[in-house]
Structure 1
Amino acid sequence: MTTRELAGVHHVKIPVTDLARSLGWYRQVFGLRPTVEFRDADGVVRGFVGDVPGLGATTVGFRVNPAAAEGCRGFDPVSFAVHTRDDLEAWASHLDRLGVRHSPVIEASIGWLLVFDDPDGLALHLYTWAEHGIDQSHRPGYGRAITDPDGWQPN
């Protein structure tokens, strides 16, 4: 019998308005290394995929799509993981050196969180695997454990 099991996340695709600007920014902030380019029928490169240190086999793709980029402004489709709060503090210092505005370290639903925007206003999250142990379930917008996942329905 074959199970329907996922093998991980293959790639994350981010819509952008300016490919060169995004390439420079993600290189500087995350150490992105482009590996594959995508040329449209007119020969113009309008997308690429790259490796980011720490993501293993998961790659990050970028595609010029101004409407999607505008629609995603302020949204947080992905949270990149760090191990501990100390790692998050190191990221905050790195962002400070680059002049990238960011939130303070936030006590999120489970762990600690740092939020900042890419050049198109996409909200990027760095979230710790380490848990802080603070019950935030009473706070609006914070997570609360689901006790019956098979029967759960949004209300």
Structure 2
Amino acid sequence: MAIRELAGIHHVKIPVTDLARSLRWYRQVFGLRPTVEFRDADGVVRGLAGEVPGLGPAALTLRVNPVAAEGSRGFDPVSFAVATRDDLAVWAEHLDSLEVKHSPLIEASIGWLLVFDDPDGLTLHLYTWAEHGIDQSHRPGYGTTIAEPDHWQPN
């Protein structure tokens, strides 16, 4: 069977407990501009999707789901890309101006990384496309190149 090719990412859906609070935060941090709302059968808006500068055609979606939000606390399901380490430093300054606590710039597996949490404790990553060239494969939790990707199996 032939592998089908994807056409990109359509949207990233983030579970939240408080839509208004999360909208304020994602607006301030990422410039989220809502374009679609999701009303439940009772007429209450419990979700929205919108545009984020630099995310391309992919939408960022916030959906009220307290169970999923709690279950995702401390997890990092998505890494948003930035071009360079200098761009990451600008993001750190932006987060500082909003008083959003974040990590220092981290030399991650391939590039540089900045880590912070949204209002529900979902961990978000900003990761550079630029590579640092440092071999981190000896460090626990860091990535190692897979020699034979088609035959890889978990141990």
Shorter-normalised TM range: over 0.9
Matching of residues 16-95 of structure 1 within 5 Å? 16-95=16-95
How far off is 1:3 after superposition? 6.2
Q: Could you state the TM-score of these two structures normalised by the residue count of structure 2?
A: 0.98
Q: Quote the residue 1:141 is aligned against.
A: 141
After superposition, the C-alpha distances for 1:72-111 in whole angstroms (9 at most, x for unaligned) are: 0000000000000000000000000000000000000000
Q: Quote the residue 1:117 is aligned against.
A: 117
SS at 2:43 equivalent: coil
Counterparts of 1:139 and 1:154 in 2: how far apart (Å)?
Answer: 19
What amino acid sits opposite 2:10 in the alignment? H
Aligned residues: 154
SS at 2:6 equivalent: coil
What amino acid sits opposite 1:70 in the alignment? E
In structure 2, the gaps of 5 or more residues are none
In structure 1, the gaps of 5 or more residues are none
What amino acid sits opposite 2:15 in the alignment? P
- Across the aligned residues of Structure 1 and Structure 2, the Cα RMSD in angstroms comes to 0.9
After superposition, the C-alpha distances for 1:14-41 in whole angstroms (9 at most, x for unaligned) are: 0000000000000000000000000000
User: Where in structure 1 do 4 or more consecutive aligned residues deviate above 4 Å?
Assistant: none
Q: Could you state the TM-score of these two structures normalised by the residue count of structure 1?
A: 0.98
Percentage of matched positions with identical amino acids? 81
How far off is 1:4 after superposition? 1.2
